[in-house]
Chain A
């Protein structure tokens, strides 16, 4: 308590930059089908934004802002990926067969929707969950 550091500049910068990093990670995630990117690097960038919040604040504040259990997030991501693979079995196709089609969405116009995005959401959640579990576990040990 004796020399309490004043992190005002770091905290102000973090509140603005973490949103930019999260937007960039969402862009990387959705651009992954046609340009470089995808679930893995998108998840890593999202956890980089969360790590920046951890650096500027502390573990207790991050748990207040985002009350997620990151181990459950890993499990949910694995479940989504496995269910996406198993969904092909309902249509008499081999495991992990993907399908796509073109849809007319109200705001976006003609869009191709692919079930590989669902698989990628699973990868995204697993990467965030594993990275944040590792960092929080190391940070909490005395």
Chain B
């Protein structure tokens, strides 16, 4: 019963990720692609959690937190590049 619902959720996330990848390829502007990549990372977190339920193992819980942090930092870096053109400033006040 649990396995069945986890499989259904995995299929739903696979369909959602296909839609996100479509937006990442088609998206007219760069910001569309950045948001699509961010939500792809969040969906990947959900898939990791579902797989750790399926495999009856708790060793993937670090991966979930890691993917959340990496998705956040990547999105911040991309949006700073879109806004300023440079990711790392040398001196902010100059």
Quick check: is A87 within 8 A (CB to CB) of the other chain? Answer: no
Q: Are B87 and A55 in contact (CB under 8 A)?
A: yes
Given A45-B69, A48-B70, A57–B87 Cβ distance below 8 Å? no
Which of A21, A37, A138 is within 8 Å of B62, CB to CB?
A37
With a CB–CB cut-off of 8 A, which chain B residues contact A28? 62
Complex Cα spacing A114 to B12, Å: 46
Chain B contacts of A35 at CB under 8 A?
A: 59, 62
Q: How far is the CA of A21 from the CA of B11 in the complex (A)?
A: 32
Residues of chain A with a CB closer than 8 A to B80's CB? 55
Q: By the criterion CB–CB under 8 Å, are A59 and B72 in contact?
A: no
CB of A57 within 8 A of CB of B76, answer no
Contacts of B62 in A (CB 8 A): 28, 35-37
Query: Chain A: which residue is nearest B69 at the CB level?
Result: A21
A52 at the A/B interface (Cβ < 8 Å)?
yes
Interface size class of B (residues with CB under 8 A): 20 to 34
* A-B contact list, 13 entries, CB within 8 Å: A5-B84, A21-B69, A24-B69, A37-B62, A45-B69, A52-B73, A55-B76, A55-B80, A57-B92, A60-B91, A61-B92, A139-B87, A139-B88
Identify the closest chain A residue to B84 (Cβ): A5
> Cβ of B89: which chain A residues have Cβ within 8 Å of it?
57-59, 139
- B91: A residues at CB distance < 8 A: 58-60
Q: In the complex, which residue of chain B has the Cβ closest to the Cβ of A41?
A: B66
A interface vs B, CB < 8 Å?
5, 10, 17, 21, 24, 28, 35-37, 41, 45, 48, 51-52, 54-61, 135-136, 138-140
- B90 interface hit (Cβ, 8 Å): yes
Question: Are A139 and B69 touching (Cβ within 8 A)?
Answer: no
Closest Cβ of chain A: how far from B43's Cβ, in Å?
21
Q: With both chains docked as a complex, state the minimum distance between the C-beta of A72 and any C-beta of chain B, in angstroms.
A: 21
In the complex, A140→B88 CA distance in Å? 8
